Amino acid sequence: MSTSMLGLDGKRAVVFGGGQGMGEATALCLAQAGCDVAVVDLVEERAEQVAQRVTETGRRGVTVVGDVLDDAEVPRVVGAIEEKLGGIDITVSIVGQSAFGAALDMTPDTWDLDQRRNLRYFFVLSREVAAAMIRRGQGGAMVAIASVDGIQGSAYHSSYGAAKAGLISLVKSLAVEWAPKGIRVNAIAPGHIVTPRLYDTNERAAYYAESPIPMKRRGQPVDIAKAATFLASDLASYVSGVTLPVDGGLLAANLINAGHVFGRPAR
């Protein structure tokens, strides 16, 4: 496919949490599709490495170091990106993390932390970016990273799942509010992805090969990057407010369909 079909040539993209894993893969995919990319991360060294790789594709790669969970930092971070790139057309918000623990044992503080690092920050950050996009009057596209846990229940992930479900709802509301301004807002619900935090081992690979994931493998960061690039691109020009599962078919499957064990084969 010609990259011109994507309409991303010369677009200014930002990846919040672009320093590793899905964020790194997304920064590179957007650059290969024609975008200049700002890599925002807490960790300067990570951001610098990814921006360098963006530059090697022939596009501009710049960095902004900052904590997007800190409300007071957000205007500075967004201002610095605008200054370095000359504006913002696309954002992909990767930042998010989960507490893991039984609901009966979870403290309200842990609950609050998951809401803050998965839901609240996107509200604060995306409003700052939308205001900048509206000032320039050229619209834009935002992609948030949710989770399959925001769609289905997941034991020991109650606070995280609730936050991601909230994010999926927020994306719909913002998509509706900002559509008249030409801003599209969508989300991706990753399934099980091999990322630096969820490292891979032979034991894990064997577990997932036997798991109910129809595609019998975990996803790679690039699987998320390709979906994010699609949602940011002109190929998704009439798509807003959706959450796209990127999960190897996991959400499509009825995991206790025992028809093949007890039922009569149809033929």
**Which are the catalytic amino acids?**
160
Do residues 230 and 187 touch, judged by C-beta distance below 8 A? no
Cβ closest to ligand NAD, residue 24 vs residue 36: 24
Q: What is the helix (H) or strand (E) element at residue 90, kind and residue range?
A: strand 90-93
Question: Which residues on neighbouring strands pair with residue 213, listed in sequence order?
Answer: none
Among 182, 196, 212, 249, binds ligand NAD (CB under 6 A): 196
Question: Could you tell me the smallest distance in angstroms from the CB atom of residue 38 to ligand NAD?
Answer: 12
Residue 69, interface with ligand NAD (CB under 6 A)? Answer: yes
- Token couple for 5: 């079909």
Which one of residues 42, 106, 124, 162 is an interface residue with ligand NAD (CB under 6 A)?
Answer: 42
Q: Work out whether 43 is an interface residue with ligand NAD (CB under 6 A).
A: yes
Q: Is 23 in the site for ligand NAD (CB under 6 A)?
A: yes
> Is position 190 an interface residue for ligand NAD (rule: CB under 6 A)?
yes
The answer to whether residue 193 forms part of the interface with ligand NAD (CB under 6 A) is yes
Inter-CA distances, 166 with 52, 66, 111, 112, 240, Å: 35, 24, 13, 13, 17
| 254 CA to centre of own chain | 25
- The answer to whether the beta carbons of residues 61 and 52 sit under 8 Å apart is yes
DSSP string for residues in 57-81? TTS-EEEEE--TT-TTTHHHHHHHH
Q: Is 17 one of the binding residues for ligand NAD (CB under 6 A)? A: yes
Q: Which of 21, 34, 140, 248 binds ligand NAD (CB under 6 A)?
A: 21
Residue 38: φ, ψ to 5°: -95, 125
Of the residues 8, 22, 113, 171, which one makes contact with ligand NAD according to CB under 6 A: 22
**Residue closest to ligand NAD (Cβ):** 96
Residue closer to ligand NAD by CB (options 97, 237) is: 97
Calculate Rg over the CA atoms of the chain.
19
Contacts with ligand NAD by CB under 6 A lie at: 17, 19-23, 40-43, 46, 67-69, 94-97, 145, 147, 190, 192-193, 195-198
